[in-house]
Structure formats: C-alpha cells, structure tokens
Chain A
Amino acid sequence: MGVAAFLALLVRPGPRDESDVRLREFQELVAQHKEQMYRVAYRMVGNHEDAEDLVQDTLLDALRAFQRFAPGSAFDRWIYRIMLNNVIDWRRRRAVRAISLDEPGRVGEEGGPQEVADSSRDPAQVAFRDVLDEPVEKALTALQPDIRMAVILRDIEGLTYEEVAQAMHCPVGTVRSRLHRGREELRTRLASLWRKQR
C-alpha cells in the first residue's frame, strides 16, 4: 500500500479541528517510518502475526501519547522506545494470563470470548519451520528484549550508539554493555553450528 492510500485512510471527512491537525502530523511521521518500524517489530518478535500485533499496539499508544512528542525530535526513536516497552509488557503478561471464555460477551472484549489464533495450525509454517527459521533469527529472538533491541537497532538498522541510547532511553554505556552481551550470546549460540559446518 502506498503512502498516499495509507494517509487517506486516516483522514476523517468533515471539518478539521486541532486533533485533525495532530492526526495528520502523526500520519505523516508514521508513513515516513512505517517500513523500518515494521522491520524492527518483526525482528523483535520473529513472526508476522506478532509483528503486526506489536506495530498496532505501539502506534495506538504512540498516537495517544502524541501530545508528549516533541516536534522536531526523532520520531522513529520515540516509537522504538514505546515498542520496547510493549514487548517487555507483553512478555510479562504472557507469562500467565488466563481469561474465562465462559461468560458471554462480545468477542474481543475483556472477559468475553477471545479469538484464539494458533499459528502452529498453518500448514506452511509447520512444513517449512526447519527450513525457514534461519539460525541467526532464532538466536536473535532468544535474546532478552532490551538486548535484542540494542542489537537490532545497531547491527541490523545501523543506528549509532547515541541513537540507540535515545531510542532505548538509557546511557550510551548501557547500550555498549547490551550490545556486548547480545553479540556474545549470539556468538555462543551460533558458534557451535558454524563449527559443525566447517
């Protein structure tokens, strides 16, 4: 989908007010960064289903908090910070989450029936799991979220240490340490595989 069509989706017909102006600003920023944003989300979670989930949650949170975004500052780094919070939040909540499906209610509402998607049912995923899952991708998704984010932003997206620090809202020294840990963990996981291949 092109940028124009994407923007058009967000335009509400009728008279414009201040929120429309802000919304339009938001749309333009999202349109500029959406591909990179999706890429980072995908690398964070390792599959399209969760990446879509993560991008949506992140953008919704970002839109609601948009009044706190300083115009002129780096939108992508601001988004990544929200995204990282979301990933950590997911992880925490996914550890234990039980919802009763027994009470009637609208699908999707809290306490109502939940749409349950089991991605393992997709024959393609099952068939090609071993073929497609690159070892490096597997190893990447096994990292802690904050370490993973540092590695993705620096080694895949090519941000500088300072930019990664801004995105992760932490000192540059912390970025350095997370990168060090991340690369070492990846090396440990991948080295045995490389040695076998030699």
Chain B
Amino acid sequence: MTKMRGWNCRKVSEGLTLWLDGLMDSGASKALEVHLDSCAACREHAQELRQVKAQLAKLPGVSCRPGFWPAVGYRLQTEGRTAPAPRLGARRRLWAALPVGLGLAFWLLIGRPSAPVAMLGVRDLVGAHAVAEVAGPAKDFSGLALVSWPGPVEVSPEHHAPLPAPPIADRTVTDGGSQEKSQRAEALLANALGMRVSIPPHQGTRMMAVRDGDGWRVGRTAVLAYGDGSEELLPPGVRIGLAVSRGTPALQVPAPPICCGGTHLTDGELRNLAVQNYRLAWHGESKLAERTVDCLAASPAAKDRPAHLLWVDKQTGLWVRHCRYGPDGTLLTCTGFEDLAFAPTLAKPGPPRLLINWMCNEGRAHSCKCCSAAQGISMPLGLPSELPGGYRLLSAAPGERGKLRWTHLAYTDGIDCLSVFYIPGASEPLARPESATVISLGGLRLHHWRVGPLTGVDWQGKAASWAVVGYAASDLLLKVSQALESS
C-alpha cells in the first residue's frame, strides 16, 4: 500500500466505519473515495466491511421458545416484587430454580440385562420420587442418582469398571454424600418403598459445579469412604450409580434423559418433575381421539411453579397432550397432537400419515380454543417402532434452528439412545464429515456419526436427509446404526 495524496491507508481504514454508515461529512467522504479509487487493498477492505454489515443485517430472526414468557411472568411476579432493588448487575442464582428445569439427574443404571425386559410404563412412575446429585470430572459429566419407585424394588449397589467392587454388603445403597444426605436417602426409601437399607455416608466427598462460558461443568474430588473403613479416590471419568432393580433382571427406565434432552414428558421432563418434588398422580385412563391414554397430573411443591396435566399414549409412550397451568388455574400452554391416528402405523409399514404437532399458548383454563397460532410440523410415519437390538421408539419431536427444521426420533433400549433426525427438503447430506471420533457425552459416549449415506427420498417423494446419532455405553449401538443404514 502506498501513501496517497490526501488520505493514507491508515486514515482510510479508521474512517471506513463512518463512511459505510453514511455519517462522514462530504469533504472527508470525497477524500476517502479518491483514495479507494486508487488503492486496491483499501477497496477490498471496504468491500469486506460492507459484506460484514450486509451479513449482520440479514441474520435470521430469533423467537423465544414456547412457554418462556409465562415462566418469566411467574418469576417477575413472585420474586421481582419482594426483593430489594439491586445495583445494576445480574443475580444469577435466580435462574437456578427455573420451573422448566433442564436435565439434572442422570439415572445411571448398573448392569445390562441379558435379555430385553419390559420398559417401565408411565403408571409405574406415579408416586416415584428421586433424590439426585450430580458429580463428575470437568468434561466427562456423570451423575449420581438415587431413584426410588413404588412397589417391590430391590436396590443394589454397583460400581462401573475400573473401580474394584466396593466392600459393602448386598442390599446396601451407596450414596456419595454427607451423613445427613445418607439419612435422608434412607428415610426416603423407608417411606416410599417400605424397605430398610443402610446408606453409609462417603465422608470427604466434595462435589463441585463450575459454571463457565459453555455452561455447567462439574468437577469432583471425591474420596469414597466405605463402611469397613476403607477409602478410595474416585478417578476421573468413572461413573458411579445405583442399580434400581425389581427382581431380576434389572428394571429398565425408559431412557436416561441424557438421550433426549429432557424435552419430552415421557422421559426427561417427567423425571425432572419428580426431581423437582412434583407429586405425580394418575387420573385414570381415558380416550383421546380413539387412543387409550393415561392421564397424569403433576402438582408442584412450590407455589410459583406450574402444574402439569399429561396425557400419555399407552401403546407408544408418546405424550399426546401436555398442558401447563398457573397457580390460579390459568392455562398457560397446551401442546398436543391433532391427529392421533398415527400410533397403530408405527409398528407396521403402511400409508404415510401426517402428524401435526400444535401449540396453543393463549387458551383459557381447561379449554384450548385459541390455536390460531398453531405451529405445525410434519413428520413421516410408518417408521419402525423397534430397531434391531431391542431399541424402541421413545419419542418424536420437532426441532428447528434458523432455516433448518427436523424431526427428532429417539430410540432407546433403556440405556443407550439412538437419535434419528429426519430433515425434510434436504437434497444433500449434511455437511458433517463422517467421523470415528468418540465423544464423551454425559458419561455415555457418542460412538457414531453417519449422515451422508442416509440421504434419500421421503414418503412424499421429496428429497430428505436423515442423520443418525448414537449415544452409547457399548459398541452394540454401532451395529444397530449400521443395520439401520443398510435397511
């Protein structure tokens, strides 16, 4: 770059912002333009800045997720009025108690059954209670959860390899916490299950959560102390958990919420409700558009949290209607399916049907008449409800970001989870390269990516793309994914 008469490159560079915004006076503007005419480097510089501005201006619009503003309303109503005026600055802790919690408890089930067993139905969850703690090294998130279920339940401890078997007696629960927490867990089990268990405290256990720019990271320095006086340091990356079993084989929980993001009431959120001390009550069976559904009511312990009513399809386990109510009985949101005739076709191939997921956010109590703002998505049906390896369809839910829309189908065998994403209108495979990288994800490992080969034609004859993502505790999932592709 050479020094030009009038303005040099440096001065031009400093003036480009004002010039691009049309805020430079005419004399300066003219001098700058004279320089641009004769300096290719500055011209390119200006062009790139113009491109930056143009790209910023055409960023897609952003809308909040359904249910967000009601949650804000409650928070403002219940906390904003009573608290003292702060200095200008965040009070981050307020957020920690949001009613719509994200996944907290990892339900670490120990021991894979030798054969698939019946999954826990929604009725089995009624009265379920949970005490959850989280722990784990910085990047390999893991959890410790104590889960109790009504009915005859055996609780047995087990550690994942490579920890040696703990020197504790059978029918004893290990709990990674303090004396008080152990006693709480004991009392909980005694009350909920009518069984007496001994839960020795792990003295010296410290579980630390660290929040950084990417979200929560959980770290731990843990010394586990057992009943016989022995101790061990828990190495990083090791999951500890509790087996929850009903006789043999171990009782399966439909899916760990890790698989499904806690967004579906039949899995993650239902459990979140339990974790957040919601009381679940079964309101009997009913018919909803010719489907037999279980009606569940979830009442909050805290007055400022919404109550939920859920209708869960008995056959598929999919929730078909979910309504949230405020403390005064006002209907906040209601979500459901208009066409409930989809379920029978899940198990066997048949003519494709359209499933419309609707959202109703402005209805009044116990009615939902204001669905003009329905957000419709479509998904192809005739999908298999089971995949090789005992994977069952757990949930189907829409997702979108920017221009891309997809339907997320979650399959699980109770431990591993296979996510299939259907992306209508995508004629090209997603641009993610196939990778053998194993990514640690919440204690499970992401074993498998395979996107490209699943591009094809959807049931309407249009181009579509499929992505398969597996979260696996074992290599079994890899085989399932491959089988899915070849089919």
Show the binding face of A for B, using Cβ within 8 Å: 1-2, 4-6, 8-10, 12-13, 19, 23, 26, 34-35, 38-39, 42-43, 48-49, 51-53, 55-61, 63-65, 67-68, 81-82, 85-86, 89-91, 93-104, 107-110, 113-124, 126-128, 130-132, 134, 136-137, 140, 151, 154-156, 161, 176, 179-180, 183-184, 186-187, 190-191, 194
Chain A residue with Cβ nearest B45:
A187
Q: Chain B 99-127, CB within 8 Å of chain A: the 1/0 string?
A: 00111100000000000000000000000
A38-B62, A110-B93 known; A104 and B86 CB under 8 Å?
A: no
Q: Which residue of A lies closest to B419 (CB)?
A: A123
9 extra interface residue pairs, beta carbon distance < 8 Å, beyond A116-B104, A155-B56, A183-B49? A56-B71, A56-B72, A61-B89, A64-B83, A65-B85, A102-B205, A109-B93, A121-B103, A151-B56
Give B53-75 interface residues, CB cut-off 8 Å to A: 53, 55-57, 59, 61-66, 68-75
Sorted nearest first, the 3 A-B pairs with minimum C-beta distance are: A9-B73, A117-B102, A108-B97
> What are 10 A-B contacts with C-beta separation under 8 Å?
A1-B362, A38-B64, A59-B80, A60-B76, A107-B276, A118-B215, A121-B141, A183-B17, A186-B52, A190-B55
- Most chain B C-beta atoms within 10 Å of own C-beta, residue among A23, A101, A161: A101
Q: How large is the interface on B (under 10, 10 to 19, 20 to 34, 35 or more residues)?
A: 35 or more
A134 to chain B: which residues have CB within 8 Å? 59, 402
Chain A residues positioned under 8 Å from B84 (CB to CB): 64
- Measured between beta carbons, the chain A residues less than 8 angstroms from B453 are none
Q: Assess the B86–A42 pair: CB atoms within 8 A.
A: no
- Report B267-299 residues with CB < 8 Å from chain A CB: 275-276
- The segment out of B1-9, B174-182, B338-346 that lies at the interface is B174-182
Say how far B447's CB is from chain A's closest CB, in angstroms.
Answer: 12
Pairwise interchain contact B216-A60, C-beta atoms closer than 8 A: no
Question: Taking the complex as formed, is B206 at the interface, i.e. its CB lies under 8 A from any CB of chain A?
Answer: yes
List chain B residues, Cβ under 8 A from A100.
Answer: 206-208
Chain B contacts for A89, CB-based, 8 A: 89-90, 92
CB contacts (< 8 Å) of A120 on chain B: these are 214-215, 441-442
Instruction: Contact check, B213 vs A104: say whether CB atoms are below 8 A apart.
Output: no
For chain B, residues 381 to 418, give those with C-beta under 8 angstroms from any C-beta of chain A.
Answer: 399, 401-402, 404, 406, 408, 410, 417
Q: Which of B77, B80, B134, B467 contacts A9 (CB 8 A)?
A: B77
Q: Tell me if B211 is interfacial: C-beta within 8 Å of chain A.
A: yes
Residues of A within 8 A of B439 (CB): 126
Contact B93 A104 (CB under 8 A): no
Per-residue A-contact encoding for B24-62, CB less than 8 Å = 1, 0 else? 000000000000000000000100110111011101011
Residues of B close to A51: CB separation below 8 A: 62, 64
Partner of A187, one of B14, B52, B132, B218: B52
In the complex, chain A residues whose CB is within 8 Å of the CB of B421? 123-124, 127-128
Q: Interface on chain A toward B: helix, strand, loop, or mixed SS?
A: helix
Asked whether B10 is an interface residue with its Cβ less than 8 Å from the other chain, the reply is no
Annotate B417-429 by CB proximity to A: 1 below 8 A, 0 otherwise: 1010100000000
* Residue in B closest to A136 when the chains form the complex, CB atoms: B55
Interchain CB contact under 8 A, A10 and B133? no
- List residues of B (144-178) whose CB comes within 8 Å of A's CBs: 177-178
Asked if B485 lies at the interface with its beta carbon under 8 angstroms from chain A, I say: no
B326 touching A130 by the CB < 8 A rule? no
Q: Which residues of A contact B199 (CB under 8 A)?
A: none
Q: Is the CB of B68 within 8 A of A19?
A: no
Contacts A1-B361, A86-B89, A101-B208 given; does A64 touch B69 at CB 8 Å = no
Selected from B75, B135, B361, B441, the residue in CB contact (under 8 A) with A56 is B75
CB pair B97–A107 under 8 Å, yes or no, is: yes
CA distance A85 to B93 in the complex (A): 16
**Chain B contacts with A in 200-222, Cβ cutoff 8 A:** 205-216, 218-219
- Which residue of chain A has the shortest Cβ distance to B182 in the bound complex? A104
Interface centre among A23, A57, A67, A91 (most CB of B within 10 A): A57
A53 and B94 alpha carbons, distance in the complex (Å)? 9
Cβ of B79 < 8 Å from any Cβ of A? yes
Q: Does any Cβ of A come within 8 Å of B96's Cβ?
A: yes
State whether B96 touches A108 (Cβ < 8 A).
Answer: yes
> For the complex, what is the distance from the CA of A64 to the CA of B213, rounded to whole Å?
26
- A123, closest chain B residue (CB): B419
